[in-house]
Amino acid sequence: MTDTKPTIAVIGGTGDLGTGLARRWAKAGYAVILGSRAAEKAATAAADLASYATGPAPRGMANADAAMAGDVIVLTVPFASQVGTLDDIKAAVAGKLVVDTTVPLVPPRVARVQLPPEGCAAVAAQQRLGEGARVVSAFHNVAAHKLQVVDMALECDVLVFGDKAEDREVAIKLAEACGVRGLHAGPLVNSAAAEALTSVIIGINRTYKVDGASIRITGFGPAKQA
Amino acid sequence: MTDTKPTIAVIGGTGDLGTGLARRWAKAGYAVILGSRAAEKAATAAADLASYATGPAPRGMANADAAMAGDVIVLTVPFASQVGTLDDIKAAVAGKLVVDTTVPLVPPRVARVQLPPEGCAAVAAQQRLGEGARVVSAFHNVAAHKLQVVDMALECDVLVFGDKAEDREVAIKLAEACGVRGLHAGPLVNSAAAEALTSVIIGINRTYKVDGASIRITGFGPAKQA
């Protein structure tokens, strides 16, 4: 199966979420390319990632190069960096699937829902990239530090948003490779739900002194699409 | 404890969600008043509700009268009726706590997130009622038909939004009276998360052929506020 796995470029791959996802995918045998604004920083992180890899050796590159080299592009940057990063990689992601993980947190009030004028960060990403790229969104509600502990069982579901089922399916497979259930959660505009929920969860973590709350969709068993 | 329980007026109390909530609260010993646009319809529903009550006999009234007679006002009407109903009860709810359950579903595309210009239905309700009433929101993601089966264990959490913790606390107690965990989920604007999630859940019900999916916040044990 290894040869059917897409090469994953994790843009902003030296951050907390990028590191967690990259470790899980490397462990699952995927070829992972870490992107960062500085190629050297990405190379150092890729060397650290190597001990987790069961497949191809991870590589590190500047974001645009990583986006060029990847088959599937996963964007894991802070909201404030989303637009600039998208502009950096726009040419490189033409015709590719972009999995956006951006949550529109606006410091200092990150526990307050503050959705952008476009409705959600995922729609903003699609508008910024234009029709050349296909954007789905996912991984908004996974605790990054728990992802980083690659053997830790994660008690959560990943809601996957996108306008085409086959594109969502790719992200669902990537969620499963991380050890979590991925679910078809509707069109890209529905991403507002998971993005807003991130602020709610940050607040719950504070209010109840929880270390990494998340969500699970209840009421049915193992995921099986109709 | 019975005498410390507020009298609950369920506005739109003959609908699916109102019926489910009213049954659970009547069973828990609360005095319940059902409101409907037609007083006769409310009276009939109240008679049906009587067999569930372990406390005071349920009553049925026109919405405005129910709002006048209740201590806590719970609004359970379709999105399209929210504004009109708020205008009906506005004078009656001055100084009271209003628990809004409205989800901004816009037929026919109810599985598509379509948040209102105010950001969410709960903020729209607060703006419509003005400062005379205190609005919290809750019960967006509970399957109404499961609530109606009063002995059914519900595998879900109720996210409670509101700008004051003591107001949220009232709704959390009402959730617990229904047999579900209620959680402080932040200011009223955060209601966008649960309202949007309702469309996502409707879509998941369809896609996976589930009978009443819901959500649970994971990562911590029994709710205990810090």
Separation of alpha carbons B116 and B162, rounded Å: 18
Asked whether residue A158 carries a pLDDT value surpassing 60, the answer given is: yes
Q: Please, which residues have CB within 8 angstroms of residue A23's CB and are 6 or more apart in sequence?
A: A49, A52, A147, A148, A150
Distance from CA of residue B186 to its chain's centroid? 17
What confidence tens digit (pLDDT) does each residue in A11-61 have? 999 999 999 999 999 999 999 999 999 999 999 999 999 999 999 999 999
Contact residues, chain B, for A149 at CB < 8 Å: none
- Measure in Å the smallest separation between the Cα of A38 and chain B Cα atoms: 35
**Could you tell me the two tokens for A191?**
């991403």
Asked whether residue A181 carries a pLDDT value surpassing 80, the answer given is: yes
Contact B217 A213 (CB under 8 A): yes
Q: Which residue of A has its CA nearest to B161?
A: A200
What is the identity of the amino acid at A170?
V
Nearest to B219 among A200, A214, A217 (CB): A214
Question: Maximum CA pair distance of chain A?
Answer: 47
State how beta strands B214-218 and A214-218 pair. Answer: antiparallel
Q: Please, which residues have CB within 8 angstroms of residue A84's CB and are 6 or more apart in sequence?
A: none
Contact residues, chain A, for B115 at CB < 8 Å: 115, 119, 192
Rounded to the nearest 5 percent, the helix, strand and coil shares of chain A are 45, 15, 40
Half-sphere exposure of B83 (CA within 13 A, CB side): 6
What confidence tens digit (pLDDT) does each residue in B64-116 have? 999 999 999 999 999 999 999 999 999 999 999 999 999 999 999 999 999 99
Contact A216 B220 (CB under 8 A): no
Half-sphere exposure of B186 (CA within 13 A, CB side): 24
| SS3 labels along B18-61 | HHHHHHHHHHCCCCEEEEECCHHHHHHHHHHHHHHCCCCCCEEE
Q: Which residue of A has its CA nearest to B199?
A: A190
Contact residues, chain A, for B104 at CB < 8 Å: none
What confidence tens digit (pLDDT) does each residue in A74-109 have? 999 999 999 999 999 999 999 999 999 999 999 999
What confidence tens digit (pLDDT) does each residue in A202-217 have? 999 999 999 899 999 9
Please tell me the predicted confidence (pLDDT) of residue B2. Answer: 45
The model's pTM is: 0.95
Contact A204 B184 (CB under 8 A): yes
Contact B215 A212 (CB under 8 A): no
List helix spans (H) across A100-190. Answer: 121-129, 144-148, 165-177
**Could you tell me the two tokens for A187?**
């069109």
Please tell me the predicted confidence (pLDDT) of residue B224. Answer: 42
Task: Note which residues in 123-162 of chain A have CB less than 8 A from chain B.
Answer: 143, 155-156, 159
Nearest to B112 among A190, A194, A209 (CB): A190
Give the three-state DSSP class for B16: helix
pLDDT band at A1 (very low <50, low <70, confident <90, very high): very low
* Chain A touched by B117 (CB under 8 Å): no
Please tell me the predicted confidence (pLDDT) of residue A2. Answer: 44
Residue A46, H or E segment: helix A39-49
* Chain B touched by A210 (CB under 8 Å): yes
